[in-house]
Amino acid sequence: TGPRGVESLAMVGLVERTPGEMWRKKAMGFGAAVLLAVCMVAGFDAAHRGQGPVGLLQKSGVGAADLKMQSLANGTAPAAGNGTAASDEAAPGDGGEVLFIKDGSLGGLIAADIIVYVCGAVGVAFACYLYYVVSKISLTPDAEEQSLMVKSEKESDEELVIIYETIQEGAQAFLWAEYQICGIFVVGFGLLIFVLCSHTGGEWEWNIGGLTALSFVIGGVTSILSGYIGMMVAVFSNARTTVSAKYEGEEGWQRSFNCAFRAGGVMGYSLVALSLMTVYTLSLCYREYFSVFGPNGERSVHYKHLFECLAGYGLGGSAIAMFGRVGGGIFTKAADVGADLSGKVIGVGDGKKLDEDSPYNPGVIADNVGDNVGDVAGMGSDLFGSFGEASCAAMLIGASSAAIAEAGWGALVFPLYISAFGILVCLGVSFVATDVYPVRKEEDIENVLKVQLFLTSVGMTIVLFPLAYGALPAVMDIGTIKGVTPLMCYIAVVSGLWGGCLIGFITELYTSHSYSPVRDVAMSAETGAATNIIYGLALGYHSCILPVIIIAVIIFISLKTAGMYGVALAALGMLANLSTCLTIDVYGPISDNAGGIAEMAELPGDVRDKTDALDAAGNTTAAIGKGFAIGSAALVSLALFGAFITRASASMKEDKSLATAGVNLLSPIVFGSLVFGAMIPYWFSALTMKSVGQAANAMVKEVARQWAEIPGLCDSAGLDFHERQ
């Protein structure tokens, strides 16, 4: 508010845009349009020059002989599409690249369309419903509602609205600054992918590079859109959670928790539904492009190129996750540390100490914006990237199995079925937290959140069994694993599902104030800060033991049951209840913001007690979200490695032993690379921590400058709200 508010917004990037910045925006948009145009033009041009689906089939060694063998059962002899006659003298391929698609039950195209689009539409509709419910909470309650609240002074309502609007503007400013950089990166790196992926096997196939780059751009844009939706919903709901906490007794607990939980659900269900429908629609478009039709309409699809091009989608999501997670995390912690240190080193001498949530602290707006940046936009982009990569890797590995490809389109997109039905299960379980078993007192908060994770895991365990048997073939060979059954794939998915659930519970054990580890750290502070820091670090290292063991067990089980395909399914199993995980994760920063707003608006202690309890549980949920993100990322990285090995082995004409070849740790290049790779996380961590320190230092200096130079800011600490305007 006043000069302080203007300066605080400037600190998070809300400044008047110069003509240069406007031109930069136009150039960025023009570059994106050029990239998309190049991708599409290159693809259609390649098709007209014989490099379309038929040309690709011939180049990959799949000729008319293969198509003829596939159609003998139907008594037809397929002809090549695009007006090109397929020569009978064409060299036959291995028969595994192009396979006839059959329809039937869950394996059919229509069934797949219904499952994915209906589940996705339900997710989007439910997210809209949750947003509508949250929006019905008024920031300025009427007289009847005020009679049920702890305190209802008009002055406090005005403060709350102004603070809420300032945080909202700050969040928009940050997103604008970050997504400008993301847009430039997506365009630049998309062009690089376009060039690199177009050159394969000593030949230029521009349509392959163009479609891969298009997938990358779409994945990045979807991730940006998901992060934006989450951030806007979070800042839209924080003040409404504060208002809900003003109700007395059990009603206040239930209203405030439900507001934050439902707002988190908007992010959870919209992100999963949008990403699911986007990747499926993209796969359908590529399926049409890489199809060849016979004279009677029978279809053959080049799955190799289809899913290789689709893999760019996961890379696009992960690229934005890097900016959201790292850049957003640096901003989050820098703002948190800066606002806290400002209260300890500025204004102390003259008796005007600036607390972290003090309304007189110029850095408090950046702090509240930062709570949403890392744990909403950053975490959402991170888990979205893991979902996209795991889905693409699973479909790519599955396409290498002739049995899965011959079983039909539904078997190929079985990984997407897991996420689709996960939306429905999470949706049904969410009503347990808001209606069936609502929060009525402080002790209920963590129990309700734990019940959500447990019930969604139980529900998915039940749903996945018939789903696996209905979509997958009875027996399949995947890489070096022979005789894989749907039961084995089911075990792989369930191992990831329950492994993620256990990691979440273990994370809560080490981060919740309700259990002894956190209480022991608090007790260690009785003898000073040094022992507290030592004990806290020791506990942090100790908390890694069980999650790492669980991840190792998941990898062992999934590899033994279904090979690398099982690892990818295990990663998707860990993300099967992603809607609930994101809901719980976004709930945390919303509650944290609600507490900060209550403090700045100087609301009564009863309101602050509720928001503090919600915030305490929110800190734990943020840690649980990190556990899911790290666990799924570990499985996804192995799944991507498996997808690379699978495709590289299939592409080697003379030597196809790459998939079964062992890794010799005594090899100089292997051993040296392992040591170098072990160093990279420490290097990366050092850079990020240094960035946090530099940004926090600059923020403290900026607060000190404002405190010393802005007329009336120092004296306003002793005035009431209206006198500070």
- pLDDT tens digits for range 202-239: 677 888 888 999 999 999 999 888 888 888 898 899 88
CA 350-351-354 angle, to 5 degrees, is: 105
pLDDT at position 458 is 94
pLDDT at position 123 is 94
List, for the chain, all residue ranges whose pLDDT scores fall below the cut of 70. 1-107, 141-157, 201-202, 347-357, 650-663, 712-725
pTM of the model: 0.81
For the chain, how big is the Rg over CA atoms in Å? 28
Cβ neighbors of 623 (< 8 A, separation 6 or more) are 507, 508, 510, 511
Q: Are strands 98-100 and 299-302 parallel, antiparallel or unpaired?
A: antiparallel
pLDDT at position 269 is 94
pLDDT at position 150 is 60
Rounded to the nearest 10°, the torsion over CA 331, 336, 338, 339 is 130
* 571 C-beta neighbours (distance < 10 Å), count: 34
| φ, ψ (nearest 5 deg) of residue 131 | -65, -40
Helices (H), 473-515: 486-511
Contact present, 570 and 415 (Cβ < 8 Å): no
pLDDT at position 659 is 52
Q: What is the per-residue pLDDT across 338-392, written as a single tens digit (0 to 9) for each?
A: 888 877 777 665 555 566 667 777 788 888 888 788 778 888 888 888 888 888 8
Q: Is the dihedral of CA 395, 397, 400, 406 positive or negative?
A: negative
| φ, ψ (nearest 5 deg) of residue 515 | -115, 165
Taking the alpha carbons at both ends of the chain, their separation in whole angstroms is 6
Tokens representing 351 are 């008796």
Cβ neighbors of 573 (< 8 A, separation 6 or more) are 418, 460, 464, 492, 493, 494, 495, 496, 497, 499, 500
Distance between CA atoms of 384 and 227, rounded to whole angstroms?
9
Helix (H, G, I), strand (E, B) or coil at 359: coil
pLDDT at position 272 is 92
Distance between CA atoms of 530 and 508, rounded to whole angstroms?
25
| SS3 readout for 393-441 | HHHHHHHCCHHHHHHCHHHHCHHHHHHHHHHHHHHHHHHHHHHHCCCCC
The single-letter code of the amino acid at 72 is: L
* DSSP conformation class of 108: S
Contact present, 211 and 289 (Cβ < 8 Å): yes
From start to end of 140-290, where are the E strands? Answer: 199-200, 203-204
Half-sphere exposure of 661 (CA within 13 A, CB side): 11
pLDDT at position 336 is 85
Q: Which of 98, 90, 324 is nearest to 228 (CA)?
A: 324
Exposure string (b/e) for 366-380, b if CB count within 10 Å is 16 or more?
A: bbbbbbbbbbbbbbb
From start to end of 146-298, where are the E strands? Answer: 199-200, 203-204, 291-293
